[in-house]
Amino acid sequence: MTVTTVHQPTHREALWELEAAFDRGDLITVFGHCTVEYDGRAASSLGLGRRLLLLKPDGTALVHTDEQQQPVNWQPPGSEHHAAVRDGRLRVRSVRSSPDETLDVRFETVEQLSAMAVSGRRDLSVTGSEADLRNALLDQPDAIEAGFEPLATERPTDVGPIDLFGRDSEGRPVVVELKRRRVGPSAASQLQRYVEAIRREEGDDADVRGLLIAPSVTDRARRLLAEAGLEFAAVEPPSSDSDAGDADAADATDANDDSVAAAGDDASGPSAAEPANDE
């Protein structure tokens, strides 16, 4: 049995289950009527309501409502969870130091408490990141511009590391800043900062180019680049069009063998089945 659940437990029962789950290193969910107080880098307070508290064995605490991707309150990994019954309420407190922070969740009633044994990989490799873009451009330097010669990635300067550094066909140093998505003014400032650092290194009269590579650029950023004498080149990130096989398979059909739940999910076409390609 990899999950333990109690419904509408007394606070003592809930406390006992929490203690056991802490010891087992389980992932814990607590749903109930609670208040939430946070004090640390900032401070906040949340009145009574039914919410879901998630407690992880690494010290993470998350309070979720029925809206938003982000938790309404939280405590980062490395915290310590404590539970106690006090003033007729079940209090779950997650604390960490450096910085000193406390999250307090006080339950008037606990509707459900579950403890689950998690397993399997929790790290995942994402394709389509800036690093992937960099590697693709290193394989095809001409995609940047004809004759571009890469010299270094993450080249250090005294204002931070340059994504990609090289020389153009005429031997001029080129500072390349890569972004996986549309860029705004901050990316232009970042590139300018790096270019000026290289100019200082090479001598103030050095002819150093700055090149921002991204799928697109906002108007303001384009103007900033122009004013600073920097260049822009549009390059799509190498995610969806490079490896579209699995995406197409996942996109093509729906709802065959059995019924379907949810609004507006019309079966498009019960065509040929794709081979299962996971696990």
Partner DNA sequence: GCCTAGGTCCCGTAG
Partner DNA sequence: CTACGGGGCCTAGGC
List the interface residues with DNA, window 170-189 (CB under 7 A).
177, 179-182, 184-186
Residue found by looking up tokens 């690093």 in the block: 131
**Cα distances (Å, whole numbers) of residue 19 to 6, 12, 22, 25, 95:** 13, 11, 5, 10, 16
User: Does residue 75 belong to the site contacting DNA (CB under 7 A)?
Assistant: yes
CB of 257 to DNA, least distance (A): 26
User: Does residue 29 belong to the site contacting its own copies (CB under 8 A)?
Assistant: yes
* Count of chain residues binding DNA (CB under 7 A): 43
Judged by beta carbon distances under 5 to 8 A according to partner kind, the member of its own copies, DNA, none in contact with residue 51 is: its own copies
Contacts of 118 (CB under 8 A, 6+ apart): 26, 27
CA 101/CA 186 separation, integer angstroms: 31
Q: Among 239, 190, 236, which residue's Cα sits nearest to residue 211?
A: 190
What is the pairing mode between strands 61-64 and 73-75? antiparallel
Residue found by looking up tokens 């090479």 in the block: 202
Interface with DNA (CB under 7 A), residue from 220, 252, 269, 273: 220
CA 130/CA 51 separation, integer angstroms: 37
What is the pairing mode between strands 173-178 and 209-214? parallel
Judged by beta carbon distances under 5 to 8 A according to partner kind, the member of DNA, its own copies, none in contact with residue 272 is: none
Assign 162 to helix, strand or coil: strand
Interface with its own copies (CB under 8 A), residue from 9, 53, 81, 148: 81
| Residue span binding DNA (CB under 7 A) among the ranges 4-12, 140-148, 152-160, 240-248 | 152-160
User: Does residue 153 belong to the site contacting its own copies (CB under 8 A)?
Assistant: no
CA 87/CA 135 separation, integer angstroms: 59
| Residue span binding its own copies (CB under 8 A) among the ranges 18-26, 148-156, 171-179, 203-211 | 18-26
Interface with its own copies (CB under 8 A), residue from 185, 216, 231, 235: 185
Residues found near DNA in the complex (CB under 7 A): 38, 40-42, 44, 68-70, 73-77, 97-98, 101, 103, 123-124, 126, 128-131, 156, 159-161, 163, 177, 179-182, 184-186, 190, 193, 218-221
